[in-house]
Amino acid sequence: MKKCLVVLGMHRSGTSAFTGVLDLLGVNLGTRMLETQHDNPKGFFENKYVVQANDCILESLRSSWDDPLPLPGDWQAHFEGSTLHKDIRTFLNTDMVEGRLTALKDPRLARLLPIWLPHFRAEDVSLHIAIVIRNPLEIAESLASRNNFSRQKSLLLWLLYMLDAEEHSRHLPRGFVHFDKLLADPRTAVSASFEQAGLAAPDFGNTDEAALGEFLDRNMRHHEYADADLDALCPALVARYYRLLCAIAQRGKPTEADLSAIDAIRSQLRGELALFYNADVVQAARHVDGLTEPEWFARELTKIRDNFERDKIYREYRYIA
């Protein structure tokens, strides 16, 4: 049987570091990997096909990885009859190896996992999940440096990604790993997440300790915040969910009370977003986004987007209870 560990988490959360350790352990990552870049010199450990497929899905929905708009409720129906499904099945048959664990990592999967799940089942793949957690302030700082995002936008994206990651994986065997624990003690952190996800503990016996230490060099961490910073710099909803995830990671799995608390956070966020992102606004925005002429219209649209970025949603979002 084929086994796959899907690594979920927000961009800049440590999913690359976690998957890089799996690579050192000999876990199969496929054959067509993204090249390193200046903002991730040690590698993304992402399969090119998976990234391209997920970008294609988002583009078809008039969205992108950094779009703070919720995906349409019926977004999967948009791809009924699409060749995308055949392509995904081909990928699973080509890059996964019988009898060997494969790891699949792309942060977009946190939001798009539902369209992949039927194909894992159809191919009889034993599916397991690892959710990587990192202080959202550190993620926001990293995205500010790399993409010039506002803190408010990054924190909203973090909420959307991490809530989706939890919701889409709730019915699957899954483990949780905190970025801090991964850097401090990779053997324990990775082994614990494997055990939680229903996988045999990885064999670190043949791992090059020097290579592991060099890969997880703490100097790779450019942004660091303490838990106490959350209350001063984050909306309460963000701080509450992050601390809940940390508690779950510490225990190894969520309790029923944890799941109810997560559902309440998700419901509150959706209610707040609905004040700004009702169906009419979303439909109009995505229709306008597809228009490219005349030239003056494109310029005006850019101005509107720039103003929207600074405007009400993010100022109001800061005060979500």
pLDDT digits (tens, 9 = 90+) for 174-191: 999 999 999 999 999 999
Helix axes 109-122, 48-60, angle to 10 degrees: 110
Q: What percent of the chain has pLDDT over 90?
A: 52
Give the sheet arrangement for strand 101-105, strand by strand.
Answer: 101-105, 2-8, 125-133, 174-178
pLDDT digits (tens, 9 = 90+) for 97-145: 888 999 999 999 999 999 999 999 999 999 999 999 999 999 999 999 9
Q: Return d(Cα 204, Cα 222) in angstroms, integer.
A: 27
pLDDT (0 to 100) of residue 283: 60
* Per-position DSSP letters for 183-217, written without gaps between them: HH-HHHHHHHHHHHTT-PPP--TT--HHHHHHHT-
Q: Return d(Cα 186, Cα 190) in angstroms, integer.
A: 6
Rg (CA), the chain: 20
| Alpha-carbon torsion angle 71, 74, 80, 86, nearest 10 | 40
In angstroms, how far is the first alpha carbon of the chain from the final one? Answer: 47
Count the neighbouring beta carbons within 10 Å of the beta carbon of residue 23.
16
pLDDT digits (tens, 9 = 90+) for 263-291: 999 999 988 887 766 555 556 555 555 54
Check pLDDT > 90 for residue 298.
no
pLDDT (0 to 100) of residue 211: 77
What's the Cα-to-Cα distance from 99 to each of 89, 102, 127, 200, 293, rounded to whole Å?
18, 9, 13, 13, 53
* Average pLDDT for 250-266: 97
Reported pTM: 0.84
Q: What rounded mean pLDDT belongs to the chain? A: 84
**Residue extents of the structural domains in the chain:** 2-276
What confidence tier does 321 reach under pLDDT thresholds 50, 70, 90? very low
pLDDT digits (tens, 9 = 90+) for 61-94: 889 999 988 888 889 988 888 888 888 888 888 8
- Long-range contact list for 198-206, CB < 8 A, 24+ apart? 198/128, 198/173, 199/3, 199/5, 199/101, 199/128, 202/22, 202/25, 202/27, 203/25, 204/25, 206/26
- Higher pLDDT residue, 303 or 168? 168
Count the neighbouring beta carbons within 10 Å of the beta carbon of residue 254.
20
Q: Return d(Cα 126, Cα 107) in angstroms, integer.
A: 20
Question: Look-up: residue for tokens 């959710």?
Answer: 131
Q: Return d(Cα 321, Cα 318) in angstroms, integer.
A: 9
* Average pLDDT for 30-48: 76
Topology of domain 2-276 in CATH is Rossmann fold (3.40.50)
* Average pLDDT for 282-302: 50
pLDDT (0 to 100) of residue 293: 41
Check pLDDT > 50 for residue 294.
no
Residue length of the chain: 321
What confidence tier does 314 reach under pLDDT thresholds 50, 70, 90? very low
